[in-house]
Structure formats: structure tokens, C-alpha cells
Structure 1
Amino acid sequence: MTTTVKVTGMTCGHCAASVREEIGAIPGVTTVDVDLATGTVTIDSTRDLDPAAIERAVREAGYRLAN
């Protein structure tokens, strides 16, 4: 399954790594690709992901999902 979200506030490689690490810790996530230029985060997983879990992970990294 592939899920795409938009994250605001990321400006550098460290930002992307933080988001990648937090989302990657969600059970079932296999890969996380971050595009800093667009703020797009593409998540591949073995199952449907709870949107609340994704939001918590992004907040834990210090960022927010775009509305």
C-alpha cells in the first residue's frame, strides 16, 4: 500500500531524516521517501496505516501535516 502526505516546515536533510525515522517506526511501514522541495512524503507499507498514527509520527518529529 502507498500513502502520500504533505508535511509543512521541513527545510533540510535533518528535517527529512527525522520525519523518515518517526514514520518508519510505525508498524507495517517498509519505506519512507521524503521530497523536501514539495514537502511530500510517500509511505509504502504492508497494510493500511492509521492516519492518526502518521500524524503522531510527524508531530513527534516536530512538524505538521498540511491541511
Structure 2
Amino acid sequence: MYEFEIQNMTCGHCASTVEKAIKTADPEASASIDLAARTAKVETKDPAAINTAIEKAGYPSSFRQI
């Protein structure tokens, strides 16, 4: 499980865009988006690919294993 800190995620549309980016990068990923905390908890085997996808969607991010 990884936690992604996502900058500039400020609304429901942003959260939806981030979730779509996660699913595009890893269709088998399980994600939980917390808009208020600006984080996403993701169960994935390739966090770097997900981080890249989130950033390509326009949201600077970083991640750590939890």
C-alpha cells in the first residue's frame, strides 16, 4: 500500500481526474481518494507509474509506502 500526497487537488473533479489517472496506469489498482487531506491510498505493484500518471494529469505528487 502506498500513500500519494497530491498537490492542487481541490475539488471533486480533481479527485475524479486523479482516480482516472490511477486506473489508467494500473487497471488492477485499488485506490481510496481523500480530497480533504489531498491524498490517495493505493494498492499497486507499480507506484512510480501511478505517480507519473498523476503528474501527467496535472497534479504534482509524491508517494511513500505505508
Tell me the TM-score normalized by structure 1: 0.77
Q: Which runs of 5+ in 2 are unaligned?
A: none
Q: How many residues align?
A: 63
Equivalent residue, structure 1, for 2:61: 65
Deviation of 1:42 after TM superposition, in Å, equals: 0.7
Larger radius of gyration between Structure 1 and Structure 2: 1
Q: Which runs of 5+ in 1 are unaligned?
A: none
Equivalent residue, structure 1, for 2:52: 56
Deviation of 1:30 after TM superposition, in Å, equals: 2.8
2:29 & 2:54 partners in 1: Cα distance?
16
2:47 & 2:8 partners in 1: Cα distance?
22
1:58 & 1:12 partners in 2: Cα distance?
15
Task: Tell me the SS of whatever aligns to 2:51.
Answer: helix
Give RMSD over aligned pairs: 1.9
User: Sequence identity, in percent?
Assistant: 30
Equivalent residue, structure 1, for 2:6: 7
Tell me the TM-score normalized by structure 2: 0.78
Deviation of 1:28 after TM superposition, in Å, equals: 5.5
